[in-house]
Amino acid sequence: MSLQDIIRRTFAETVETQQSAALILSDTIEQAAACILETFLGGHKLLICGNGGSAADAQHFASELVNRFEHERPGLPAVALTTDTSTLTSIANDYAYDQVFARQVRVLGQSGDVLVAISTSGNSANVLEAIKAARERDLRVVAFTGRDGGALAGLLSDRDIEIRAPADRTARIQEVHLVVIHVLCDLIDRQLLGIR
């Protein structure tokens, strides 16, 4: 296969994945937007975690909420648990890497908050531990996953929401996650500001 073929095939695969995500995930995305909106209107916050590209997604999502998305509005409380290198390295060094998010969830999380857990495999130990900590602290979970949902899917309760990208390749899953993040920001803004 030529390099040009690979480029075209990647775009084609992305379009196909996004189209099937639109069909499969639209109801779940609407539920997730309602859950997050209710969280903010109740005076609660989002804690967001993930590794690698999903850490970048966590920060991207938090910045669009704390700062703004496409419209002027008051900032919305969201914290990416991926950014404080002193906290992350000390927890990993003194305890274990799988505790880097869980410890922050136990300290920062309060009943009524939501943990947004992002993992393409659904098998990252530190994300799974964060979900267990969220359960202890009475936080709901909005999970972004892919493939078969991994071990993460088995940890969720009826109160939680799983947005599972219909793809197997990590890159395609991450691309769906990013579109979902932007759609959630748009839905939240529209409902908060009364835009149709």
| Number of other CB atoms surrounding residue 71 within 10 Å | 12
Q: Which stretch binds ligand I22 (CB under 6 A): 4-12, 89-97, 121-129, 188-196?
A: 121-129
C-alpha span between 160 and 27 (Å, rounded): 14
CA distance 187 to 196: 10
Q: Residue 104 touches which of Zn ion, ligand I22, none (CB < 5 to 8 A by kind)?
A: none
Q: Is the backbone of residue 123 left (phi > 0), alpha (psi -120 to 50) or beta?
A: alpha
Kindly tell me which residue out of 24, 28, 35, 53 binds Zn ion, with binding defined by CB under 5 A.
53
Which CB atom, from 135 or from 147, has the smaller least distance to ligand I22?
147
* Residue 14 contacts ligand I22 per CB under 6 A: no
Please say which residue, 39 or 120, places its beta carbon nearer to Zn ion. Answer: 120
Sequence-separated (6 or more) residues with CB below 8 Å from residue 134? 47, 105, 109, 115, 117, 140, 141
Binding of Zn ion by 14 (CB under 5 A): no
CB of 174 to ligand I22, least distance (A): 5
Contact set with Zn ion (CB under 5 A): 53, 174
